Amino acid sequence: MSPMKDSDIARLMAQLQESSDSDTTTKVVTKARKSSSKRTKGSKKPNWESASLPSWFTLSKYGKQVFDELYMFINNADPVMLIGGTGLGKTAMTSAVASAIGRGSTSFNCYSGMDIASLVGLWRPNKGSIEWEHGLLTRAIIEGLVVLIEEYTRATPELKSKMFGVLDSKNRYWALPEAGIDSVPVHEGFTMVASANPAGNGYVGTMREDKASMSRFAGVIEINEPLADENKAMLNATNDKDLSDRIVRFAEILRKDPLTYISTRDMYYLATTIKSGMSAKRAVELTIAPKFEGNQETIITNARSVFEELGKEINLEESVADAIKGAN
């Protein structure tokens, strides 16, 4: 592509400024209200009960602590990293905090070999000419959204190096050399939240961040336990105290081994599947066991011991091998 003319660059810069100042709806799909024009740094935090969490997701005491800590970083527009296992509530928490502050939020997942054009922007044909279209991340930066970058440790070096400028504590910038523009306006409320799974512990492709990357984050919150009150969550999902207690006990047994640590999300899927009428044995086979390769026998054995009296749905006479095969 030939170099852009000065007139084209001026036109694009005008479009960028218009995007930054306009109150019109953009192409970025947000999960909460649009960002306010001013940061609310130092303002009193709202009660977490007013946050837009899923109906079954009541915060535990630990969850309330993380909510307050994440609120502080996002309210100050400081980048923060969340490190913890999948399904513990990192995504729901980030969206809820952004909503409580009054900012819009959006998210995307990283993976090896990802093409960042859809995030940054790209040229598209339009009625015989080509026009630059902002990507999801560029829009978020201009409008001041809270962006959750999931699986950040899997992000490509290209994306991480490009993010350095917008993660600076002062004089933040977002360059678009792809569009021939040195820098676009970075909204004062733009905040990046990165999430990552702990290195190892059964997570494929995870790795530790290098010092240069970690130094860009104002804080790192390590999430070592579920953020939801799981007793209340399971009772909400099943409306059956006996069943909810058994699911919580089942999770406690599996979590004694890091290789079979099931998440709140796994528990919720198990609860709703049993509540819908599936036998406990078959529900475990479909919602839990396949996610822990090499540990299926242990999971089925523990399920049989916990759910054996639940309508006699777990047949104690059948072998573990037969249990793993499942009902036809």
Tell me the per-residue pLDDT of 158-216, one tens digit each, with 9 for 90 and over: 998 899 889 887 789 999 998 888 889 899 999 999 999 876 554 444 446 777 778 88
> pLDDT for 228-240, tens place per residue?
999 999 999 999 9
For residue 20, what are the CA distances in angstroms to 130, 154, 162, 169, 187?
Answer: 22, 30, 20, 21, 8
- CA–CA separation, 278 vs 318, rounded Å? 18
Q: Is the pLDDT of residue 245 over 90?
A: yes
- CA–CA separation, 326 vs 328, rounded Å? 6
> pLDDT for 47-60, tens place per residue?
666 567 777 788 89
What is the number of alpha carbons within 13 Å of residue 17 lying toward its C-beta? 6
Please state, rounded to an integer, the average pLDDT across all residues of the chain.
80
CB 314 within 8 A of CB 281: yes
Where in the sequence is the domain holding 252, given as residue range(s)? 230-325
For tokens 């905090």, name the residue.
Answer: 97
Same domain for 112 and 57, yes or no, is yes
Same domain for 212 and 237, yes or no, is no
* Number of domains comprising the chain: 2
Of all residues in the chain, the percent with pLDDT exceeding 70 is 75
Same domain for 170 and 56, yes or no, is yes
Same domain for 235 and 164, yes or no, is no
Same domain for 174 and 214, yes or no, is yes
Same domain for 218 and 284, yes or no, is no
Q: What are phi and psi of 147, to 5 degrees?
A: -110, 120
CB 226 within 8 A of CB 58: no
Q: Is the pLDDT of residue 320 over 80?
A: no
Query: pTM of the full predicted structure?
Result: 0.74
Of 206, 223, 240, which one is at a domain's C-terminal end? 223
Same domain for 128 and 234, yes or no, is no
CATH of the domain at 78: 3.40.50.300
Same domain for 13 and 160, yes or no, is yes
Q: Report the pLDDT value the prediction gives residue 26, as an integer from 0 to 100.
A: 29
Q: Is the pLDDT of residue 2 over 80?
A: no
Same domain for 76 and 193, yes or no, is yes
**280 by DSSP, 3-state: which?**
helix
Same domain for 292 and 208, yes or no, is no
- CA–CA separation, 119 vs 148, rounded Å? 13
